[in-house]
Amino acid sequence: MSDTRDPRVLIVGAGMSGMLMAIKLRESGKQNFQIVDKASEIGGTWRENTYPGIGCDVAAHYYTYQGVPNPEWSTRLPQGAEIQQYLLGVVEKHDLRRRIAFNKEVVQADHDGQRWTVRFKDGEVEVADFVVACCGLLHHPRYPDIPGLKDFDGAVFHSARWDHSVPLEGKRVSLIGTGSTGAQISSKLSERKLDLKVFQRTPQWVFPLPDRRYTQVEKSLLRVFPWIARVVHHVYRVAFENLFAAAVIKPCWQRRLMGWLCRWNLSTVKDPELRRKLTPDYQPLCKRLVMSMEFYPAIQRPNVQLITEGIDHIVARGVVTKDGVLHEVDVLALATGFDAHAYFRPLELRNAQGRTLSEVWEQGPYALRTVAVPGFPNFFFTLGPQSPIGNFSAISISETQIHYILRCIEMVRSGPCQTLSPTPAATEKFNAFVRAAMPDTIWVTGCTNWYMSKNGVPSAWPYSGARFRRELREPDLSEFDVAA
């Protein structure tokens, strides 16, 4: 190690959790760090996703760093651009910009038993004692393998790569996918002067989460009394964790209540045939709920058509469904989701024994306490396998994980060891504990959802938020292989 008193930390990703990692390192007196990002601006998800209607369905004051409250949120459920503005404000407030190297994509990291040698796409190399991958979760767009997609003559793009140069007014627009993203896009596009065809493969349950604008008085109060923002954050956290997050864990009144509200919401669709088409055949919450008061009104607008016939193939002029009908279209938008199991890859790791992360994760990704993998010393990540996702604020989860990671770095900084990596036994014990709770969860009740790993275990957290914080309160040295 270079200097155990001030180890070099390389943070990969200048999104919401990478910046938090930097802030927390600095707050704990560690200055020897750098953030790198493959893009030319901060923000991660909120920089990349700019599709019409993009917003967050987690309450704004809960989707906020605890240490950086934001009295200016304009609505309960913030729009994407407003979140990006907030993150840009955080960068300035914490003077982080000069600590970020932009357009630096990490492709490989090799550990020699002491330090990481990190290679960038541009050929440069850096050496670090710790690497912390803060690369987000849903950032690898999943393109559908529909035959003929490449033959389409018009504009085609994924929701996470929205092409704003393509005019939509007066056009025939097709949208494939009706998850959270598809619902937000169709709600927004339905208000415009265009013809929209929404291709639905599987109906989704839609939870009627109400939004509202904050008044000037409320904002002023939060400005003058920042403690109110902290209380509001806490109240929303308790509400989200005890409703949405609790409902997925095991059968309970919250699950019944959510289900009832989803069914009530569906009953507001007037046309019985359309309602039938929109009715899922699996339990509410099995797929991640779509949260929207706008989707059902949107899908009933005269310029919107819901297509439930399966897609057969795509031709130059449009989409051909299995009944042989050609749906002519000018623009094709793909709200077909993400690979939720890629994590920080394509970054490849190689340890001193020559093993790669791809080999270790061949049967599916796994981690100790969601943040580290056996065999890869001093390498940590946020939002890793089995993290609480989907029904929590990702910021709140990162805060818990970063606290734990910092404590690990602190153990190396102040202790006798130079490196630590999780023991296989501790990692297996943790994952057995997680697997044990899965049979009661809603994710295994008979639907396809993006939580499911290829090993058949949902990569999500089947316990409470409080339990997660307890599990990551303090690293236990006996769970790590340490090297002096």
Q: Considering the complex, what minimum distance in angstroms separates the CB of residue 415 from ligand N01?
A: 38
Amino acid at site 269? V
Q: Considering the complex, what minimum distance in angstroms separates the CB of residue 288 from ligand N01?
A: 4
Q: Considering the complex, what minimum distance in angstroms separates the CB of residue 387 from ligand N01?
A: 12
Applying CB under 6 A, does 53 fall inside the site for ligand N01?
A: no
Q: Considering the complex, what minimum distance in angstroms separates the CB of residue 29 from ligand N01?
A: 34
Applying CB under 6 A, does 181 fall inside the site for ligand N01?
A: yes
Listed in sequence order, the residues at least 6 apart from 378 whose beta carbon sits closer than 8 Å to its beta carbon are 111, 116, 129, 130, 131, 412, 419, 420, 421
Applying CB under 6 A, does 55 fall inside the site for ligand N01?
A: yes
φ, ψ at 274 (rounded to 5°): -65, -40
Q: Considering the complex, what minimum distance in angstroms separates the CB of residue 187 from ligand N01?
A: 11
Q: Report the C-alpha gap between 454 and 441 in whole angstroms.
A: 17
Q: Report the C-alpha gap between 318 and 13 in whole angstroms.
A: 38
Applying CB under 6 A, does 177 fall inside the site for ligand N01?
A: yes
Q: Given the rule CB under 6 A, which of 220-228, 333-341, 354-362, 397-405 is the region that contacts ligand N01?
A: 333-341
Binding ligand N01 by CB under 6 A: which of 44, 136, 182, 365?
182
Applying CB under 6 A, does 16 fall inside the site for ligand N01?
A: no
Applying CB under 6 A, does 294 fall inside the site for ligand N01?
A: no
Applying CB under 6 A, does 373 fall inside the site for ligand N01?
A: no
Q: Given the rule CB under 6 A, which of 49-57, 82-90, 346-354, 426-434 is the region that contacts ligand N01?
A: 49-57
Q: Given the rule CB under 6 A, which of 173-181, 237-245, 373-381, 470-478 is the region that contacts ligand N01?
A: 173-181
Applying CB under 6 A, does 179 fall inside the site for ligand N01?
A: yes
Applying CB under 6 A, does 90 fall inside the site for ligand N01?
A: no
Q: Considering the complex, what minimum distance in angstroms separates the CB of residue 283 from ligand N01?
A: 14
Amino acid at site 167? P
Q: What's the distance, CA 169 to chain centroid? A: 31
The number of residues that bind ligand N01 (CB under 6 A) is 26
Applying CB under 6 A, does 288 fall inside the site for ligand N01?
A: yes
Q: Considering the complex, what minimum distance in angstroms separates the CB of residue 479 from ligand N01?
A: 30
Applying CB under 6 A, does 283 fall inside the site for ligand N01?
A: no
Applying CB under 6 A, does 390 fall inside the site for ligand N01?
A: yes
Applying CB under 6 A, does 75 fall inside the site for ligand N01?
A: no
Applying CB under 6 A, does 56 fall inside the site for ligand N01?
A: yes
Applying CB under 6 A, does 311 fall inside the site for ligand N01?
A: yes
Q: Given the rule CB under 6 A, which of 10-18, 317-325, 336-344, 458-466 is the region that contacts ligand N01?
A: 336-344
Q: Given the rule CB under 6 A, which of 21-29, 178-186, 244-252, 458-466 is the region that contacts ligand N01?
A: 178-186
Applying CB under 6 A, does 249 fall inside the site for ligand N01?
A: no
Applying CB under 6 A, does 57 fall inside the site for ligand N01?
A: yes
Residues of this chain, 429-448, that bind ligand N01 according to CB under 6 A: 448
For the record, the structure tokens of 166 come out as: 């393509």
Applying CB under 6 A, does 154 fall inside the site for ligand N01?
A: no
For the record, the structure tokens of 282 come out as: 């699996």
Applying CB under 6 A, does 450 fall inside the site for ligand N01?
A: yes
Applying CB under 6 A, does 194 fall inside the site for ligand N01?
A: no
Q: What's the distance, CA 183 to chain centroid? A: 17
Applying CB under 6 A, does 462 fall inside the site for ligand N01?
A: no
Tell me which residues touch ligand N01 (CB under 6 A).
Answer: 55-58, 138, 144, 146, 176-182, 184, 201-202, 288, 311, 335-338, 390, 448, 450
